[in-house]
Structure 1
Amino acid sequence: MAAISDSSNPYPEELPEPTAPPDLEKASPAAGSGATAGDGGSAVVTSVVRRWRREDLLVKSALLLHGVACLFSLVSFTLMASNKHGDWKNFDHYEEYRYIVAISVLGFLYSLGQVARQVHLLNGGTDPVPGTASRFVDFVGDQVIAYLLISALSAAIPRTNQMREGADNIFTDASAASISMAFFAFLAFAFSALISGFKLSKQTYV
């Protein structure tokens, strides 16, 4: 009897399972998780460093603006307080000029206190105002002083313009110079209020 050919066998032997090449093996989960954790830690450190740099820049900007406001407020009330030339040419005869002197003194004292406080902070000292309330106090203080200064300017400018129509002399010139210095102080307080508002909006309560 003829031998049956192997090709007629309906159940051929099973072939061995193919093995994946070594270069296609998957990376171990431990290696992947380590890389992810490292990237996350680096991102956190970068974020913290950026925040520190931003806060340092804001503190230095506020210090500069309060220093400028302190200087202009001092010059403003000094010019007006010394503006006494006899008869009607005395500043204390006019309520508007007394008002601008009072607000300039207030702005000088407030900005001087802020300068001392911010220099103390930059030198590593502790803030006398609690951290949560300090930004709110800065924002309100800058806003109030800026508002009072623009109010005093609004009262003093028409009076000075009226006087200069009749007589332009050393009294009206000194009054105009004092008003100009108070206006520059107002600008410094206004920009400082913007910085204080930005810091307040970034306040975290965690």
Structure 2
Amino acid sequence: MLRSAAKNYRNVVVIVNPNEYNEVLKELREKDGELSDKTRERLAVDAFAHTARYDTIISNYLRGMFHGEEFPDSLSLTYKKIQNLRYGANPHQKAAFYGEDIKEPSITNARKLWGKELSYNNILDLGASLEVVKEFENPTCVIVKHTSPIGVATAERIFDAYKLAHQTDPISEFGGIVALNREVDADTAREMSKVFLDAIIAPKRKRTYVC
């Protein structure tokens, strides 16, 4: 029904996102019950994207359940935009970050607390550092620069883990990413503030935060 309505967008308005309700109602009131072609077209595209994502999720699930194919002949993927990025691989390039719903700690569900918008390279380094630090149970610090770990250390305290990781290559750490698998305490924060870092990623009450 959603697809049928979207195909007939010139005569039918289809809304798949409740966040659109207020804007659509506002336009209807302002234009005596009419919607612009631009709004109708945008809502139709949203409807097709919504049903396409739904169909992709179902087909992938059933393929795995019925056939168990490791490498199917065709592969459909669907991602949601998480945010626009400050720039792409280079400052003159535009970029956006897309991801899928993931339950475990991931860069896709991390919450930014403070600072400038992230870049493509920030996302790569944050993701790489987080995946490495997740491999450890003891207090651990991972420092990454250009997707390569330049310092990894574990200790009894997260402060000591950072100090050890920092000592691995204190020069290359400049402008890098620090990942911790423990909450950032005041002592560790003060120590990290001595170096210019692009971002820090760490847990806080079972959530992952970037700052």
Per the TM superposition, whether the score is higher than 0.5 is no
Larger strand percent: 2
Greater relative CO (CA pairs within 8 A, separation 6+) = 1
| Higher-Rg member (1/2) | 1
